[in-house]
Chain A
Amino acid sequence: MNKQLLRIDKLEAEVAGKRVLNGVSMEIDRGEVVVLIGVNGSGKSSFARVLAGSNQYEVVGGEVELEGKNLLKMKMDERAKVGIFLAYQNPVALPGVKVFILCKTAHEAQGNRIESVVEFKKKIEDLLVRVGLPREYVGREVNEGFSGGEKKRLELLQLLLLQPKLAILDEIDSGMDVQGRQKVREIVSEMQSKGTAFLVITHYDDLLEKDQITRTQTMKHGRV
């Protein structure tokens, strides 16, 4: 299997006519953990959302390939289906949509079959406990009344459930307490060993252990 997972070449993007990415180039191999740092407004979150395929951004130049496939031609849901996952910096609340339903639908949307709803529910409950949320959250509405840290933990849960090829974590540590950050380290470590690549956007250089990080890159004015 080819080592290279993602290839980004001179990626340029705009939001509402304003240039946010000015020719970003980057290559990420399977199992690599790339940490991206940079001041506020340097384009880190824009980069994350452009990669995930948000249609609020317009790509005006460059190439992005995942395993040799042109990612820029794919819609957001198609990118999720080929293995891109974005943990949002500010995950939205979804009134009336239960955590269980979100997980079930997302899991199925990515081509997985659920043989037993009862067992799947148990799986979600176990994952909730794993990321440090109460089991009962399986029946809660997504992010409604969640604290900042709880929202981030629910992102971690979905990361574990969906097992992507490339996980983009956009400031997963903001709003998280010490235990939460420890969870991030554990989960990255575990998934990394199974070949998941990570693009970790953060303001803090101590989120991950030094030996977990393949390299750290800095973003400035929409360039890496």
Chain B
Amino acid sequence: MDEYKLGSSTTTDEYAYIAKKGLTKRLVGELSASKNEPEWMREERLKALTIYESLTTPEWGADLSELKWDEIHYYLKSVERPYQDWKEVPSDVKRVFDAIGVPEAEREHLSGVTGQYDSEKIYGSLKKSLSTKGVVFLSMDEGLREYPEIVKKYWGSVVPAGDNKLAALNTAVWSGGSFVYVPRGVEVKLPLQAYFRINAENAGQFERTMIVVEEGASVNYVEGCSAPAYSSASLHSAVVEVIVKKGAKCRYTTVQNWYKNVYNLVTKRAEVGEKGRMEWVDCNIGSCVTMKYPACLLKGEGSSGSMLSIAVAGSEQQQDTGAKMYHLAPNTSSEIISKSISKNGGRASYRGLVMISPNAAGAKSKVVCDALILDPESRSDTYPTNRVMTNDAQLEHEAYASKVSEEETEYLMSRGMTEGEAQTMIVRGFLGEVIDELPMEYAVELNRLVKLEMEGSVG
């Protein structure tokens, strides 16, 4: 297998289309027209653009002042049509996918795979046994074409365009992303995997994902992200809407390893029905700035939500991550586990909200935030917000920040480990079992990245 190099990119010379830098009404209109979208979607986009222009850039979280919005290409089309046969995929693109185990992994461990380069999907497949049961795994564009009623029914129902400036931006210029539909009672046991790559310089990637899990069904969706090394910034701003019906279950795992020039500003939210369960597993290693707080709207009685968040903030990185749990019905439960590591001047913040509404009697929530700080230049902050509006609720909150003591490093060095190897071991110990929650190939990848980050950074 080729060594997967973070920094490598493939040429954009043969791209089907690259929009001029900057965002205009004309671009939005042309984008919609080129995709032959229904009129309602064109209107959604234009409405969202107006909202986007009326909202201010958030100032409460990470620092976005360096982001040059006008320097971004808002749409880049790498290929005319997605490939369905792996043999047809161009060889330079293939090498990147091969290196990270797509679609090798597909053959054994996955139910389906899609790959997106910049704005458009380039490859996709789904196991036949699932498609015959009515499971759908397509790009969002294909979803809109082939299942317009479903898309229209749920579009913006969980994340409205006006939710925040970045959600509005995504709604205006979205392209690609995944559309997943799991019919009633169908269990998709092996993961569906999507792989997103920003390939071009100054690229904007605005994928839009919708996952609908019907009553009693279940699905496990995994996405990985990467980008090559460029000196100028790229922007990734996705919106993800998940609809988990009565008794259904969804696990959504992200392993984000954008290059350190990418602003990663993402809105992810799930609506959970009676006795349904939503699990977010969110692992952020790359990007220069990430702002991401996946949410669960626990609307059905007895529904539950969980978040497992892992963030690594290195030199010149801000990982501003967390979760939001809205308890909107009785006997709902939620759990947030956040583990962050900051080093070499990096900054990791946990920002979270637990809201328990007046009609959520019997609600339970537990939040645990662990931060590991590797050196005095690095920083970790916790911004938890709890709003409890009923007397009949249980809420636990624990937060720990620990520094790697010289004694720990010294002890391991006295056993023959270099300083970097010692820090790798301490960090892996800190992450502990949470790594086991990741899909196997990503756990291996995360271990490798931790090793690379720790051992590459100590002099």
Interface residues of A (CB under 8 A from B): 52-56, 75-77, 80-81, 85-86, 88, 91-92, 94-97, 101-102, 105-106, 109-110, 141, 158, 162
Contact = CB atoms under 8 A, between A and B. Distances in A.
B408 A94 contact: yes
B405 interface: yes
Interface of B: 405-408, 410-419, 421-422, 425-426, 428-432
Contact of B411 (A81, A94, A141): A94
A221 to B, nearest CB: 25
B407 to A, nearest CB: 5
Nearest to B410: A54
A95 B430 contact: yes
Given A96-B432, A97-B429, A109-B421, A80 B414 contact: yes
B451 to A, nearest CB: 12
Contact of B407 (A75, A80, A92, A102): A92
Q: Which residue, of A53, A76, A85, A106, has the highest number of chain B Cβ atoms within 10 A?
A: A76
A105 B418 contact: no
A75 B459 CA distance: 12
Which 9 A-B residue pairs are closest in the complex by CB-CB distance? Answer: A96-B429, A109-B416, A80-B416, A106-B415, A97-B429, A76-B413, A96-B432, A110-B416, A92-B407
Contacts of A55: 406, 410
B429 to A, nearest CB: 3
Nearest to A55: B410
Contacts of B410: 54-56, 76
18 contacts: A56-B410, A75-B413, A75-B418, A77-B421, A80-B416, A88-B411, A92-B408, A92-B411, A96-B429, A96-B430, A96-B431, A97-B426, A101-B425, A102-B415, A105-B421, A109-B418, A110-B416, A141-B429
Nearest to B413: A76
Contacts of B430: 95-96
Nearest to A101: B425
Nearest to A87: B414
Contact of B416 (A81, A101, A141): A81
Contact of A77 (B405, B406, B407, B418): B418
Nearest to A93: B408
A92 B409 CA distance: 10
B426 A94 contact: yes
A94 B372 CA distance: 13
A109 B417 contact: yes
Contacts of A91: 411
